Chain A
Amino acid sequence: MKQAELIPHLFRTEYRKLVSVLCKLFGIEHIEIAEDIASDTFLVASELWGLKGLPENPTAWLYTVAKNKTKDYLKRDSIFAQNVSKHLQPNATTSEEIEIDLSVKNINDSQLAMIFVVCHPCNPAEAQIGLALNLLCGFGVEEIANAFLTNKDNIYKRLQRAKEKLRAEKIKIESPTLSEINVRLPTVLMTLYLLFNEGYYSSNQDITLRKDLCLEAMRLAYLLIDNEPMNKPSANALLSLMCFHSSRFDSRLNQNGEIILYQDQDTNLWNQELIAKGEYFLNQASQGDSISKYHLEAGIAYWHTIKADTKEKWKSILQLYNHLLVNEYSPIAALNRTYALAKVNGKKEAIIEAEKINLADHHLYHCLLGELYTGLDNAKAISHLQHAFTLAKSAADKMLISNKILGCKQQEP
């Protein structure tokens, strides 16, 4: 790997490790110090490596610099030394004696502990995702603002508030116990799920950024199932779902970030390796007797990796959507279920059901009806699509809908 690529790569993989280890060492009150030391380490690396070339073992080099910076910091900052290092190691008289443990095991433990801190339910979901991006993925305020399509100020405040909340609640950074894992794993999985969706479904046009979000979510999910107590069926199902979805990442957007519809996608661009991984994790997920929503969604995503339109495929998808909805309502699931119903029982029956679901202020609802009426009553189809066009917010959606309207008009005799 060239140096220009190496530093961003190491930043993605090593920043969170340094931050996690240091946070765990310093405690929740001093997250910022940990972040400063980790950022500083990378700053030095980018300056020095440019001048002197790459060190033999860049990762080890980063760890050594981070260790030295931490020791320097502890020496320099007497208030910190008095208040914190005493608390860290009651017997330590000088900062030199403080052990900065960058062993594989401690890095792993620290990262897991940080995942549970970041996903602590004392913060709302939005803030959890922000924190995850900031502390675990090394995203800056600007990148996060970009991902959420909001301004830097908002994100800065959101992160500050979230960190303040963690401090106020005196959340301990420690490896979760088995019972804590059982109670809190669902929140952790939900945060990773939302993080992934942020990348997969957001209307942000920046494809690279969106892909990064998805990859980070997957990396964190991997980290969980690599650790036996967290290697639960639901975690495997979530990772399976992510693998299936991301297998289509390169085929679902064109160069301009515009959505390419499923039926128009080039299946050669589907990533077979990720599909195989998805199948592997779905198998792992089926050990156990609980079915999470990730199982159901992974099941649906699995069927979508088979492009051929068979009756069996749509019957299975319909059942999975039925289960998903019976467990928990969501407008998108309701719309998708109706689409699957059309595939299984025909458009006429689906129209009757669609008209009951009452999502008239959702552009996708009118897209669905437009789709269902196409071929049966094209005038109605066009009227629904026009309604969808006025409700759609993103330029990409509007473009898709106007293409559909055109297609419909061409069918008119």
Chain B
Amino acid sequence: MNDFLLIFRTDYNTMPKASPEEMQASTKRWMDWLGGIAAQNKLTDRGNRLVPTGKVLKPGNVIADGPYTEIKESIVGYSIVKADSIEDATELANGCPILRIGGNVEIREISIL
């Protein structure tokens, strides 16, 4: 089995401002989804969420500031799963809570350096 990186993308602007209860419900949904993958022993790394702000370093020490909240598809988090094929990995991504809020999951096989 190989490792696949799941990259979660969504538009920060369309993300609803969640109340603490909604946040909790959302965390539960993520844990249900990750728990299902982990129960198949296919979770390599639960991964993390990313903070909306950031910087980009370009050649010549050019530093661009975030936030990139204007971008339609910001990376909001990632996880790493194990699967036999990209099709299987995609099947695991099915059910990811990001899909419920108009986001998407990019699935990329990790090629070990």
Contact = CB atoms under 8 A, between A and B. Distances in A.
A315 to B, nearest CB: 8
A319 B41 CA distance: 17
A235 B43 CA distance: 27
B28 to A, nearest CB: 6
Interface residues of A, number: 17
B40 A322 contact: no
Contacts of A353: 36, 39
A357 B32 CA distance: 14
B40 A326 contact: no
B87 to A, nearest CB: 14
A334 interface: yes
Contacts of B28: 319
B34 interface: yes
Mostly, the B contact residues are helix
B77 interface: no
Given A322-B31, A323-B31, A337-B35, A329 B46 contact: no
Contacts of A333: 39
A323 B35 CA distance: 7
A334 B32 contact: no
Contacts of A319: 28, 31
Contacts of A326: 31, 34-35, 38, 43, 46
A2 interface: no
Interface in B7-54: 28, 31-32, 34-36, 38-41, 43, 46
A321 interface: yes
B21 to A, nearest CB: 14
B49 to A, nearest CB: 14
A129 interface: no
Interface in A14-61: none
Nearest to A337: B39
Contacts of B32: 318, 322
Nearest to B32: A322
A353 B95 CA distance: 12
**Residue of A321, A323, A325, A358 contacting most chain B CB atoms (<10 Å):** A325
Interface of A: 318-319, 321-323, 325-327, 329, 333-334, 337-338, 353, 356-358
The 4 closest A-B pairs by CB, nearest first: A322-B35, A325-B38, A334-B39, A322-B31
